[in-house]
Amino acid sequence: MFLALLELRAARGRFLLMGSVVVLVAALVGIVSGFTTGLGDDTVSALRRLPATHVAFASGAASDQFARGLVDDRTLAGWDREPDTDATPLGVALTRGTTGRGVEVDLAAFGVAPGAFTDPGADDGAPLDAARPDGIVVSRQLVNEGVRVGDTLAVDRLGITLEVVGTTGRSSYGHVPVAYVTTDTWRRVRFTVPGAEGLPADLPAQYSALALRLPADADGTALAAADGRHGTATVPLEDAFAAAPGYDGERLTMTSIQTFLFLIAPLVVGAFFAVWTVQRTPELALLRAMGASRRRLLGHTLAQAAVVVVAGTAAGGALASAVGLLVGEQVPFSLPATTLAATMGAVAAVGLAGSALTLRRVTTVDPMTMLGAAR
């Protein structure tokens, strides 16, 4: 270890250069990880907040089920009769609106039954109330865009005016801030055409899906049988994220970038230490001629690699965190401490694996090189 540290000091320029490359690779992996998590949250955070175990869609819709499928009151009543099952309607619709103060916003209207387990309540102001069907609870992003409790919100071109009664935490769907409305209001948003003045009683009693709470030991066979009875396709809540627009494509893109970075890191580190090992072959041969064991030379090499990779990875993680603090909430970026630690640990592991590619040359160095055998 002492010799390894001496070499680090003697060739600090080269090791600093290599360390800088590790810092940049680790920072890039961390930043991509933050964007992967942030984009995922910005697409499905409203779904993640649902205290449901499963989501039942209309059967037949293979993709974008929230927009392409509808379930009705009969299906809701059928699921409600299933033993140990809580079912509640869920409506999802993308729209836009304008407040009385002229603030224009895009929003994802989530229709929920007031008081149901899908009702988010309100962090500020009042929650949804069946007695106030024109109330709307907006997420924090809409508050940041200028929507306030007490504002009126006119839904674009539909002649529907809502009153902002409360606010809730950060919640979005398909990169659009979420606002929660009653199911009757959601049906007006979903089924009313511009210029018409339809009342809830005149509109189809249909919803995008049903949110279900099933027992933890729910049997897959029984679930499939229930789907057959009610004409639905039920999936676990996590699988329902794929129904959000763009979720699968974004995750595939960002995961592919991460994968390539994890492949690049060991190659870069391995190439550096391969060249470094070739340059130090005479010194390694001298150590072997003086009686140093192969185990000691391996420890010597691994110590240098560990110092460079671990220090570079730690600095890269700090840089990625700094980027997250810098961008704040301006872009969808999320890098929790657990995610950062796991990502940096993986970068350090693949970096050390790359350095291990040079170990064979270290162990096979010939001590006779320093005794003239090569002349």
pLDDT score of 362? 61
Take residue 281 and report the two structure tokens written for it. Answer: 């072959």
Helix, strand, coil distribution of the chain in percent, nearest 5? 55, 20, 30
DSSP track, 265-321 = HHHHHHHHHHHHHHHTHHHHHHHHHTT--HHHHHHHHHHHHHHHHHHHHHHHHHHHH
Cα gap 90→108, rounded to integer Å = 12
One-letter amino acid for residue 144 of the chain: N
| pLDDT value of residue 159 | 81
pLDDT for 375 equals 47
Quote the pLDDT of residue 50: 93
Say if residues 176 and 332 touch (Cβ distance below 8 Å): no
Q: Are strands 104-112 and 232-236 parallel, antiparallel or unpaired?
A: unpaired
Per-residue pLDDT of the chain (375 residues; tens, 9 = 90+): 455 555 656 666 777 888 888 899 999 999 999 998 888 888 899 999 999 999 999 987 766 788 888 999 999 999 999 988 999 999 999 999 999 889 999 999 999 999 999 999 999 999 999 889 899 999 999 999 999 999 999 998 788 899 999 999 999 999 999 999 999 999 999 988 776 665 666 788 899 999 999 988 888 888 999 999 999 999 999 999 988 888 888 888 888 998 898 888 888 888 887 776 666 666 666 666 665 666 666 677 777 778 888 999 999 999 999 998 888 677 888 888 999 999 999 999 998 888 777 766 666 666 665 555 544
How many alpha carbons fall within 13 Å on the CB side of residue 248? 7
Number of DSSP helices (H) and strands (E) in the chain, helices first? 13, 13
Count the neighbouring beta carbons within 10 Å of the beta carbon of residue 3: 16
Q: End-to-end alpha-carbon separation of the chain, Å?
A: 31
State the burial class of residue 4 (Cβ atoms within 10 Å of its Cβ: 0-12, 13-18, 19+). Answer: middle
